[in-house]
Structure 1
């Protein structure tokens, strides 16, 4: 590991690590872990406590940097598409705000989308990481040249500022003036803190944006040997340290109510990279007690929490455990991983709906067009790699592989540079992709990183033994360890794997461990043509022998088609073969779907034989002419079905009865309604004289259109009728939360609504009776106005009706 320049010698850490009671966090961590252990034992989780106590950071080590290279495969094709995109982007445009805030002439016009908002600068950090990772995975010299050029410009911006500050984020004042991010932290330093979930003193998650820059700088140093990147990171960390120094623990916790990304992870890594304890002390200040304490205690309180705000907190806790051995942090990371993977994740490995975790056990109710934000999955995969490094259990790579083949591979369009934000799992939906130079969402940034190399995690070393974790065609030439090999793989099409050993230093390879995937129906292993019976350990087939150059290992994994229930819902299932989820192809994305939802009969597994060209054609009761099925990741520009009902006759009858009852309620509403606006539908909004101020966005959820309005804005529309009206009816999602707003009709307040969840996992209708003097019809109609409370949003409102008496 590189330690940076001589000027970065370790210094004595200031005592910033004491809580209000005066106890050092390490003691607090031990107390939390003891409490967690007691709770775990009470719940019968004796294995959890033992597993945490057995964790040892560094038990599994990666190969030497740059020693793994991809061979031709789906993965190398994705990397090539990503490279074309990275070379298309203009670093000068991504640096626009950095130069501007440093008082230097910009080298290009700023990009739009999120790069035109107060979160500007986050893409540059992702871009820097992607270039560095691509260089590490392929030795690409042009990527390294771009890394070096960007780091040099960041250093120039930092030097011009003179105080260590370097950033691209801004904030927009109430008077509309956009100013640089320094203003935010000048106020924070003075104790003036205005923290909302995604806004800190008027700027969109500035610490989140800074984390992307820190991560990019650290990747530039690790992957490209750029020492200047580490120096820029150290100076920036010093600026952050000074600005936060006046804050006590309670004030810091207030700051952490705004999303702050992986700041604790990057600062802990910076401490390890430089040997300077200051940065670990600073990382510890980013411990968010409200979220982490319940996890240490073994409590799943994730419901209604923004998923990707939380995952980086556990990455930070994991790095903290590696830095100072706080097993409370290790307990939190393990418990979180267990809960998310087994209770909050979909078949493709993604999690969350509309970016939020839901109540455990409700996953089948959240199969929508807003599932599976890509950022979440990338971060869960990173957490899986860290946990695997502590004990070497194959199950972490079972999840990693699921997410990689199904969510990550599906996230980038084959054209390259077009990425999904959400990956919809609702039947009949198709993926939507970014414009290459348009949106610059968070998932565009993580998309660049995800598809930059794919070499991470394929191999590892434990006690000198080589672990094969993923069966991705590749070579490994770790000269420092004296180990080299070439792996060819038929996955995901078939289960054949061939490994040929290259030159080996004598005694360098005492054993080979091959992960036996949890999807494998059978596993046959031959060495030099002879079948062997390996020892099974931690999910790996372990083969000990005197390995020699030229030895051939052939592995055959059976890949039966399997049905996997969604959560504990036995009548809602997905199909899986090998590492891939198998989905039904429901036609082109640009053509309407016929609305016929495919159902599976009992015994459907026998209808799938061997695929032809990667496809199956299978007749179903709902589609007697047959449907084509294919690996989910391959369904670009197509509508799909991922989850399928599997009903017996009685279950199907009950399902159809519920559908008929729903249609009956809709008909009754139409008959009683004087007027109705479909908010979020352009034609309906225009017909009802929609007017908005501030930020308001159209939405679609479960194919129902809607609209919200954010803090400081208003939403108005007119409903009409030729008869007296009794009530205004608005429709919301039952678990909508953190929404507070006033409802006015013709200038008169009729209600104040608070949406904080708890109304069920379905749409709910709420009626607001009209005062007697507002009921009579008039030529101007009923003007409805919705006004959010300060610091809150309103809605989304999924339709409004004017009801007759």
Structure 2
């Protein structure tokens, strides 16, 4: 069974797991299974959600289908109609955006009736059919390959190598291509979304079947162990693609292939209910579970459902942040350790997009309001923050470190990150999960202003609400061609201490089951049912660390406002000091969920506002909570660290700020397969297998120490450090100092610096390793007595 309602309340994993017998739920009017209203049956009323859809529609219309098709045309030997986009579309993952774009066009057509979206989708499918025909063997793709000599060529050339057993598979690289199977999963999803949301399309199905034949031949050439080697490269939800192809064609060959696309290392522990997610790339895994969910719906195999349910429970209860997102620097950490991972690299937006998809599968199997408590939290606080609401750009990460700012993709789009693709989809379908039905029960899961058509009852529904800023929501049967006796189930969020239900303005005693208030009566046109929920402030502890807290009001995560994003933030992280924190919050504009603190925040009080609306502001979401005595200790530790840094500064000869443009130019940095990055407010740089980075540093006579800074929770890796091409140290990082940055000093033999004013420092990863990330390098005069 899924986690019960009250166990889920705060996603803090502090309460025991509860279950709700399905029979008890059904007896009170909650159905055994459910299905959502078609997206085309729902129209949004004015709200932040409706605005997000309109902004996204304008964004989709600014994009050029021919630019997204560039590589598809070129690799098929056809003339390109437009230049390729930049960013990821000019990298070896090129083409992935086209699949997302097809899905977004189809979803937008369903959500708004946009005819231009349907026309564009049909044009793209026509061009894909032309490209596939030019290949002549079912192949169609836009991804490229980087050869060892650095040249970029058609990605198709990797597959004969793979079929011969020459498989070079890494986390994201397969024989020089960046996640080709992930790429195809996006294309398949786009094709199926066009069919589902625009209408039957014989060309789209023909493309899917012919491409399936090509992929099937690749897999058929490999033994099971070889397939496992290949699946070490991220493959998205390609298992879902072939499960879906089987469901649509009835051809058993696609089901066999879908079940063969199974990553044993990742999925076997989940079928056994073992959480081994730490250090796995998070978004690589979620689509695998969505695929298993689709397979379970076809095969009924219980282990497929077990893995999906267990994964959802573990991620939501033990690996998720307060906004519903998960992962730091794209990876899961150990369960209940997210307080150690509150950084500017939290919550990749694709992860939440996929977790919401998984949630819909689980709810369809067995309705449980706890599922939609999570869905609402992540949809409202993460997905709604994902879009820049003026020009329609998207975030990659959703930073939760105090003072961090959100980085959005450009207005006309040249980055084309994975999260740009999922963003196009997420903000085309905000009406998809409001209304559900099953066994003649009408379920309201999300309180988003909307109108809907319920075909089974010939009903027109209206949902009027100011939620989440007000606690009332009213469902009206505007028309009801087939009135009758049936249940209406209104979700009661797990955080709600009380609730009230009214029918036509009069209070009624509603039944309770599975997190719903259920009213069963003979409904007729004009009837109204209202739910009233208290929007109280509350403090929520973080899983595994009760002293790290966040502030919520109803479903909204509130954030301390730290100022404009185009300003700077160089102050200590705000903390909360006191015993009764909520008592120190005073309403400023409660209709907008704005509050101010009085005397509890250090170093100074803050105004709190909804996090998702802070797109152009800096925020504080998490706070360390201290007593007065604990706060004095915290201040003393801070002053001691400042004294240590001052002492180091007196001995400093040179400093290299890695990852910063001007210092890297000043120090003549050169590199290959190396990337600048920012993590926990620090700039840094790493080098991947086969690469390096090198720079010059000033030296002076006498014994010297080279000091490098690392993060203490890195997955295992090893690399060499060279000075003027002579190795002075080998460094291994293996998560042995979790939760902090640390410095390592490397003595430099005086013979390497004698008579010189500058030396070259080089970081080189060992094979199949990375070097760093290194968060700065300093060169010091050694203290007296330090061995050289």
Same-fold status (TM-score > 0.5): yes
In 2, are the aligned partners of 1:674 and 1:723 still within 8 Å (CA)? Answer: no
* CA contact 1:519–1:577 (8 Å) conserved in 2: no
Match of 2:466 among 483, 490, 510: 490
Please say if 1:245 is aligned against 2:220: yes
Q: Which runs of 5+ in 1 are unaligned?
A: 1-43
1:660 matched residue in structure 2: 639
CA distance in 2, matches of 1:588, 1:45: 41
1:792 aligns with 2:769: yes
Contact 2:145/2:154 (<8 A) preserved: yes
Instruction: Tell me the distance in 2 between the aligned counterparts of 1:619 and 1:47.
Output: 38
Could you list the per-position Cα deviations for residues 33-55 of structure 1 after superposition, in whole angstroms to 9, with x for gaps in the alignment?
xxxxxxxxxxx999789989x99
What is the distance in 2 between the residues matched to 1:184 and 1:57?
A: 49
1:569 matched to which residue of 2?
545
Distance, in Å, in 1 between the alignment partners of 2:149 and 2:649 is 44
Deviation at 1:465, TM superposition (A): 0.4
Does the CA contact (< 8 Å) of 1:732 and 1:798 recur in 2? yes
Give the aligned partner of residue 401 of structure 2. Answer: 426
Give the C-alpha shift of residue 660 in structure 1.
2.6
Structure 1 distance, partners of 2:570, 2:560, is 14
CA contact (8 A) 1:269 1:319 kept: yes
Q: Any conservation in 1 of the 2:668–2:696 contact (CA below 8 Å)?
A: yes
Native 8 Å contact 2:484 2:524 kept in 1: no
Task: Identify the range of structure 1 (474-483 vs 576-585) with the bigger mean alpha-carbon deviation.
Answer: 474-483
* Residue 107, structure 1, aligned to residue 85, structure 2: no
Do the aligned partners of residues 322 and 591 (structure 1) sit closer, same or farther apart at CA in structure 2, a change above 3 Å counting? same
* Alpha carbons of structure 1 residues 661 and 277: separation in structure 2 relative to 1, 3 Å: farther
Distance in 2 of aligned mates of 1:520 and 1:575: 15
Is 1:295 the equivalent of 2:274?
Answer: no
Q: Report the alpha carbon displacement of residue 611 of structure 1 after superposing the two structures with TM.
A: 2.3
What residue in structure 2 maps to residue 366 of structure 1? 341
Q: Distance in 1 between matches of 2:101 and 2:524?
A: 42
For residue 376 of structure 1, what is the aligned residue in structure 2? 351
Q: Distance in 1 between matches of 2:250 and 2:31?
A: 17
d(CA) in 2 for partners of 1:363, 1:409: 22
Aligned residues of 1:57 and 1:322 also touching (Cα < 8 A):
no
What is the match of residue 513 of structure 2?
A: 537
Give 1:665 shift. 3.2
CA distance in 2: counterparts of 1:551 and 1:262, whole angstroms: 43
User: Residue in 2 aligned with 1:178?
Assistant: 152
What does residue 322 of structure 2 align with?
347
Could you tell me how far 1:57 is from its partner in structure 2? 12
How many residue pairs are counted as aligned between the two chains?
759
Give the equivalent residue in structure 1 for 2:9: none
- Please point out which of 167, 176, 179 is paired with 1:202: 176
- More off after superposition, 623-632 vs 222-231: 623-632
Partner of 1:221: 195
Q: Which residue of 1 aligns with 2:673?
A: 695
**Where does 1:428-577 land on structure 2 (aligned, <5 Å)?**
428-436=403-411, 437-506=413-482, 510-577=486-553
Kept in 1, the 8 Å contact 2:38–2:432? The answer is no
Note if 1:146 corresponds to 2:120. yes
Which residue is 2:109 aligned to?
135
2: CA distance, partners of 1:296 / 1:464:
33
Q: Deviations over 1:488-529 (max 9, x none)?
A: 111111111111113334466611000001222321111012
Q: Report the Cα distance in structure 1 between the residues aligned to 2:754 and 2:532, rounded to whole angstroms.
A: 76
Say whether the 8 Å CA contact 1:57–1:389 is kept in structure 2.
Answer: no
Distance 1:509 1:689, change over 3 A: farther
Distance (whole Å) between structure 1 residues aligned to residue 481 and residue 316 of structure 2: 40
Which of 661, 682, 695 aligns to 1:704? It is 682
Q: Aligned with 1:423: secondary structure?
A: coil
Does 2:282 match 1:307? Answer: yes
Q: Aligned-pair distance for 1:670?
A: 2.8
Spell out, residue by residue over 1:106-132, the C-alpha distance to the aligned partner (whole angstroms, 9 max, x if none). 111100000000100011110100000
Indicate whether 1:677 and 2:656 are aligned: yes
After TM superposition, give the deviation of residue 375 of structure 1 in Å: 0.2
1:760 is matched with which residue: 725, 729, 738?
A: 738
**Which of 625, 631, 650 does residue 610 from structure 2 map onto?**
631
Q: What are the Cα deviations for residues 133-156 of structure 1, in whole angstroms up to 9, with x where unaligned?
A: 111112221111111111111111
Match of 2:698 in 1: 720
Q: Is the 8 A contact 1:599 1:620 kept in 2?
A: no
8 Å contact from structure 1 (residues 188, 244) kept in 2: no
1:393 equivalenced with 2:388 (yes/no) = no
What displacement does 1:617 show? 3.2
SS of alignment partner, residue 589 of structure 2 = coil
What is the CA-CA distance between 1:301 and the residue it aligns to?
1.0
| Matched-pair contact (CA < 8 Å) for 1:620–1:627 | no
Could you tell me how far 1:264 is from its partner in structure 2?
0.7
Q: Which residue of 2 is the match for residue 193 of structure 1?
A: 167
Question: Normalized against structure 1, the TM-score is what?
Answer: 0.91
Q: Is the 8 A contact 2:692 2:764 kept in 1?
A: yes
Query: Is contact 1:306-1:355 (8 Å) kept?
Result: yes
Residues 742-781 of structure 1: matches in 2 within 5 Å?
Answer: 742-771=720-749, 773-774=751-752, 776-781=753-758
Instruction: Confirm or deny: 8 A CA contact 2:37 2:432 kept in the other structure.
Output: no
**Match in the other structure for 2:71:** 97
Contact between 1:738 and 1:793, CA under 8 Å: does it hold in 2? no
Distance 1:182 1:568 in 2: 47
Structure 2, unpaired ranges of 5+: 1-14
Instruction: Note if contact 1:264-1:284 (Cα within 8 Å) is conserved in structure 2.
Output: yes
The alignment yields a C-alpha RMSD, in angstroms, of 2.3
Q: CA deviation at 1:768?
A: 2.8
Partner in structure 1 of residue 5 of structure 2: none
Structure 1 residue 594 displacement after superposition:
5.2
Distance 1:622 1:62, change over 3 A: closer
Query: Does the CA-based 8 Å contact 1:119-1:203 persist in structure 2?
Result: yes
SS at match of 2:532: strand
Q: 2:136 maps to which residue? A: 162
